[in-house]
Structure 1
């Protein structure tokens, strides 16, 4: 039930509801294919880090963020195909990059994933020969940022 509900919600995000137009049925939205060079895309994967209480000193709490991000350099088809990725808001990317310049290696992952996202895209195709990533987007035009967050949600029509 939940899997079906999630698939329906994702389909509705990209294509809208199906509406009857005369004798025909049509999607409410017209989604677009967007191609971006791999060299312009920064992709992070959300990784959860949960330490068991038995691994911590008595009375201590986990001091690291429970969610970390890991930059993905492997753009192979198997890793990304059908992934639904969040497009980071440009302000969040700017804040993340400026904090990293001042804080050295202490990266604040929460600057990216807690500041909201500009939307979602679905990876349609990875062309390593041409160096291009093709996305399905709910609307046409350029993405607000080319910094993407990848979780564990995939969707195939």
Structure 2
């Protein structure tokens, strides 16, 4: 994904902060591109790395603030929609061909810009999804995100999804982009 971003943005300088292994890998991969310089920077002396638990707590607090406000002064709205009203997509990844199916010497690779349509399933419960302004699936990658919703319930009998949104009313678009952000309201 990083290499794709470097190529897409036509970067001439790539700064790597405090990641010796990443710097080395990028330098080796990009050495054939003379117009791209990979520069290693040292972390400042006062920088403290946060462990996974601290980052997870901080992320959960930011999500809560998004829906409820910093001072708990916002009132998000719970909405219910039919499965058919939503089109959910994942960007990137997808199944890769096994090495045995590839030409000799070729490596399997995932396309970081590949769109994959998803059906509503139990795995969506408690996920935070981005709401895209896209009018067609082909526009998802180039369209802005209107905001985020949080899936609070999925009823397979009635084929309804309940979600929490920062504001009342219908979603500004029907295309939702799945990430890996899970949140459980305390």
TM-score using structure 1 length: 0.70
* Aligned residue among 90, 113, 128 for 1:67: 113
* Aligned residue among 55, 60, 71 for 1:2: 55
- Structure-1 separation of matches of 2:103 and 2:135: 32
> Which residue pairs with 1:14 in the alignment?
67
Highest relative contact order (Cα 8 Å, sep 6+), 1 or 2? 1
Unaligned runs of 5+ in 1: 19-26, 97-107
Question: Does the alignment pair 1:93 with 2:141?
Answer: no
Question: Does the alignment pair 1:80 with 2:124?
Answer: yes
Residues 39-59 of structure 1: CA distance to partner in whole angstroms, max 9, x if unpaired?
A: 11111122337x9xxx9999x
Question: Does the alignment pair 1:136 with 2:164?
Answer: yes
Give the number of equivalent residue pairs.
127
Closer, same or farther in 2 for the Cα pair 1:38/1:155, shift >3 Å? same
- Structure-2 separation of matches of 1:56 and 1:17: 54
Closer, same or farther in 2 for the Cα pair 1:114/1:3, shift >3 Å? farther
> Whose Rg is larger?
2
Unaligned runs of 5+ in 2: 1-53, 97-101
- Structure-1 separation of matches of 2:142 and 2:135: 11
- Structure-2 separation of matches of 1:65 and 1:85: 21
Question: Does the alignment pair 1:46 with 2:99?
Answer: no
RMSD of aligned alpha carbons: 2.7
Q: Secondary structure at the match of 1:84?
A: strand
Contact 2:113 2:141 in 1 (8 A): no
> Which residue pairs with 2:77 in the alignment?
32
Q: Secondary structure at the match of 1:48?
A: coil
* Deviation, structure 1 residue 146: 1.5
- Structure-1 separation of matches of 2:162 and 2:169: 13
